[in-house]
Amino acid sequence: MPLKPSMLADPLPGPVGHCDTVPVSDGSRLFRRRWPSQVAGRGVLLVHGLGEHSGRYRHLATWFNARGWDVCSYDQRGHGQTAGRRGVLPRPGVLLDDLGVVFADYASQFDTPPLLFGHSMGGLLAARAVLSGALQPAGLVLSSPALRTHEPGWLRVLAAMLARLWPSMPLRHGVQRAYLSRDARVVQACAEDPHCHTRITPRLADFIFRTGPACIDRAGMLGVQTLLLAAGEDRVVDPSGSRDFIAGASPAVLQGALLEGCYHEIFNEAEPVRSRVFARLGAWLDTHFP
């Protein structure tokens, strides 16, 4: 008998966080969540991926809170509870600008810069912002970053053309949710989540296609202590992008691994894999941020 939603335990437990909005450069407001810690003197900013939202990271926030970290996240433009058409960008670099505003506002509340954590498209944005020098976090964690995609070359050329001619044309992003995690509860919860969507536009697709290779080419410039963990069996993004980024960066600043047996959302994987991924993150934090 198939399981009904009411029969499934919440696969990603944790509080929803304190919610507000933050204004950005063009007057828009981004929906923001905060999981405060009364004892924390340090913070971590979480950046979500394509088609999802900050609320899916509450279990990760709870984990960081237990380790003495304050946590903040936000719904990117065209995502979650931030207003606007899904996947639409007014200009190519606006997601990076938004990240800069949210990071600066959050960093102003601490004596030391926050840690920056990005998953998938969020990992791509985080890596690009750090490599460009726009952000200087205390450290960088990349979870299955979208540094390379599985899309063929002709589709990338088409996206570039449409980004000029019809940048906001609504398209399906093609992410097969069955390959997000081997935990069926995670997949079902995402499919039923009203704040997750399946839209992308040519301008956003072209931005992703162009930004990934640029990050890989500049991997040797990485100067921030970084942990990169990628899914070895990722069918959402191409894990070879992470492998090449790891190879191009200095081992003095980057610790990286492709985790075999994992689908895209490594921190949402089925047990016991999920606990092992969290253990690797914990070991890295203990080393660099005791």
Task: Quick: pLDDT tens for 2-49.
Answer: 333 333 356 777 888 899 999 998 999 999 999 998 777 899 999 999
Mean of pLDDT values over 164-190: 94
Note if the pTM is more than 0.85.
yes
Secondary structure of the chain in HEC code, one letter for each residue: CCCCHHHCCCCCCCCCCEEEEEECCCCCEEEEEEECCCCCCCEEEEECCCCCCHHHHHHHHHHHHHCCCEEEEECCCCCCCCCCCCCCCCCCCHHHHHHHHHHHHHHCCCCCCCEEEEECHHHHHHHHHHHCCCCCCCCEEEECCCCCCCCCHHHHHHHHHHHHHCCCCCEECCCCHHHCCCCHHHHHHHHHCCCCCCEECHHHHHHHHHHHHHHHHCHHHCCCCEEEEEECCCCCCCCHHHHHHHHHCCCCCEEEEEECCCCCCHHHCCCCHHHHHHHHHHHHHHHHCC
Any idea which fold 13-288 has? Rossmann fold (3.40.50)
Which of 5-14, 109-118, 270-279 comes out lowest in average pLDDT? Answer: 5-14
Mean of pLDDT values over 64-93: 95
pLDDT value of residue 6? 31
Task: Quick: pLDDT tens for 75-89.
Answer: 999 999 999 999 999
pLDDT value of residue 10? 66
User: How confident is the prediction for the chain on average, in pLDDT?
Assistant: 93
Band of pLDDT at residue 174, cut at 50, 70 and 90: confident
Residue 67 has pLDDT above 90, yes or no: yes
pLDDT value of residue 3? 30
Percent of the chain's residues with pLDDT above 70: 97
